[in-house]
Amino acid sequence: MPGLPLPRSSSRIGWATPWVPTGSFDQYEALGRILHDVVVNCLPHDWTWTGKRVLDFGSGAGRTLRHFAAEAAEAEFHGCDIDPEGIAWLNANLNPPLQGFVNDEKPPLAQPDGSYDVIYAFSVFSHIAGEWSGWALEMHRLLAPGALLIASFLGVGMSETIAGEPWDANRIGMNVLKVHQDWARGGPSVMLSPWWIAEHWGRAFELVSIDPGSLPNVHGMMVLSPKPSAPSRAELEWVDPAEPREVVALRHNVRQLQRESQATAAELDAIHATVPWRVAAKARRLIARR
């Protein structure tokens, strides 16, 4: 957003590390603007901003949120994240008109039911593994009736990059990879198929649209609206035995995790074979004998 300060690389997307190259400020600005436009293009044609409340869930330092500074003259815009550094930068530099708050890794947020007319989340549900159903229900609780959740996910176009294999919707449901990876290195990778989103998220939300993100390295996009009543977490996660793709996808995820664990074991063997490691191991043995 021209005229607004830009964060230093360490807080540009919330988690900028040697493993997550952040690119240039120009790229940061350009992608934020594109994501702003993605949100705007998902809104109904008669949409007006007056009096609306919007949440950027997992905003980081506000890469997308900063592009809503003009709309914030009419509407209230919040960003939240588990990363205190990004939120501190957002509040120090973009507030007002944009407001940030830190949230816990587990729901809920402190906001009352039906607080938001739009919640958007870019590259957030693509990393939330075990807590996905809790956060899905929290999005449901936070949205007003008829409001919209706009969220990106890792789908067709990310298969080669994330899983190192061609896309096959029959063997991807919600397949979680790199579950051990901490947030400093991008967190777990969660791949989703449109059929699985319809099957599980569809129990709590009407599906407005799902774009599978077919182009290489492009994320999928789902636009959802809350159903009048919410299921429980167990109901959201329940695996329907009548849907054969569920078991196929779960079995494939087991194979993927086995491949990952084999690769990790090979990396560990390579580390154990290095001279510094062998010297340190010998020193530890000598110390233990004393």
Ligand X SMILES: C[S@@+](CC[C@H](N)C(=O)[O-])C[C@H]1O[C@@H](n2cnc3c(N)ncnc32)[C@H](O)[C@@H]1O
User: Residue 97 in contact with residue 73, Cβ under 8 Å?
Assistant: yes
Residue with nearest beta carbon to ligand X: 14
- Which C-beta is closer to ligand X: that of 163 or that of 249? 163
Q: How much of the chain is in helix, strand and coil states, percent to nearest 5?
A: 40, 20, 40
Q: Are 161 and 219 in contact (CB under 8 A)?
A: no
Least distance CB 122 / ligand X (angstroms): 4
Q: CB of residue 288 vs ligand X: minimum separation in angstroms?
A: 40
Phi, psi of 281 (to 5 degrees): -65, -40
In the complex with ligand X, the residue whose CB is nearer, 118 or 249, is 118
Task: Identify which of residues 126 and 249 has a Cβ nearer to ligand X in the complex.
Answer: 126
Q: CA-to-CA distance for 53 and 178, rounded, in angstroms?
A: 35
**H/E segment holding residue 244:** helix 244-272
Nearest-approach distance from CB 160 to ligand X, in angstroms: 19
Nearer to ligand X, 53 or 63 (CB): 63
Task: Tell me how far, at minimum, the Cβ of 247 lies from ligand X, in Å.
Answer: 29
- The residues that touch ligand X, with contacts defined as CB under 6 A, are 13-15, 57-60, 63-64, 80-83, 86, 103, 105, 122-124, 127-128, 183
What is the distance between the alpha carbons of residues 56 and 32, in angstroms, rounded to a whole number?
12
Task: Give the amino acid at 229.
Answer: S
